[in-house]
Structure 1
Amino acid sequence: MTKRFTIRQLADEFDVTTRTLRFYEERGLLNPTRVNTTRSYSSADRTRLRLILRGRRLGLSLEESSAIVLMYDPTSANTDQLNTLIAKIREKRAQLLQQQNDLELMLLDLNDAEERCLDALSAEPAHQA
């Protein structure tokens, strides 16, 4: 018998809200079965959730993560899926490196502006009261 999970079990395991799981279900990323009003998630749903959350940690949008997760095919080596993920990782890395460079330049500008302000203050004659 396949292991099944309740919404609460998955929410607790992955430290997400039940609302998050219902949102992923609405988007077609998770497909729990229902017994009356109780959701029952499969091991495949659990794996998809883990991959979606990993994509989020990598800075991928939900759409990007979804596209990659939905490419999974258990009957293949998933070469296309892996190549797509590698391309997204490289794209995200390039973005982060650019942001890092921008931040370093901004910090230099802030240091320079602060130094000029301090120089201006020290050059000012003392005001007498």
Structure 2
Amino acid sequence: MNRPATGDPLQMLGIQEAATQLGVTMRALRFYEDKGLIAPQRVGTTRVYSRREIVRMQLILRGKRLGFSIREIKEFLDLYDADPEHLEQVRQLRSKVGIRITDLRKQKRAIEQTLEELLLIDRQTREWLEGRLAGGGGHDA
């Protein structure tokens, strides 16, 4: 199974090759299989991954990077399989992306606020320490 990755839709990869190509562990591939997100074929007891499974894994990994849950990713993939026109999938994706954007903007504002507060504390404590060191280290709190 040591064939190079090509655009050949019939190409089959073993689990090690698939993991290497995707930049994940074999354990990760088995995890997503257990969750029902991918379904590699079997040749005896060996898992073999078609181009379809590789593409599905790329979509799964992208979904994870974007912060979607396994459940949400499974919903997208199920819609993809059920809707040949992909209209409902795209509508659902757009809706979920909008929600994710809103959530991330809220998180960004919270992080910026926290960072500003920490920078203020850092400046105040630095100034306080510099004042103590310059003034002989008094014991006022």
TM-score range, shorter chain: 0.7 to 0.9
Within 5 Å, which residues of 2 pair with 1:92-107? 92-101=103-112, 102-107=114-119
TM-score (norm 2): 0.72
Aligned to 2:3: none
Match of 2:136 among 105, 124, 129: 124
Q: Are 1:48 and 2:59 an aligned pair?
A: no
Find the aligned partners of 2:51 and 2:95 in 1 and give their Cα distance.
Answer: 24
Aligned length: 126
Query: What aligned pairs does 1:16-95 form with structure 2 within 5 A after superposition?
Result: 16-72=24-80, 73-77=83-87, 78-95=89-106
Q: 1:81 to 1:115 in 2, by over 3 A?
A: same
How many Å separate the matches in 1 of 2:103 and 2:67?
Answer: 7
CA distance in structure 2 between the partners assigned to 1:65 and 1:108 by the alignment:
40
Q: TM-score, normalised by structure 1?
A: 0.78
**1:21-53 CA-partner distances (Å, limit 9, x unpaired):** 001100111111111111122222111110111
Structure-1 residue corresponding to 2:123: 111
Q: How far 1:125 moved relative to its partner?
A: 5.3
RMSD in angstroms over aligned alpha carbons?
A: 2.4
CA distance in 1, matches of 2:49, 2:120: 51
Bigger shift: residues 111-120 or 45-54: 111-120
**Residue 12 of structure 2 is aligned to residue 4 of structure 1:** yes
Runs of at least 5 residues in structure 1 that lack an aligned partner in the other structure: none
Identity %: 33
Give how far 1:99 is off. Answer: 4.2
Name whichever of 89-98 and 30-39 sits farther off.
89-98
1:68–1:95 distance in 2 versus 1, CA, 3 Å: farther
Question: Structure 2: which amino acid aligns with 1:57?
Answer: R
- Aligned in 2, Cα 1:110/1:69: closer, same or farther, shift over 3 Å? farther
Counterpart amino acid of residue 58 in structure 1: L
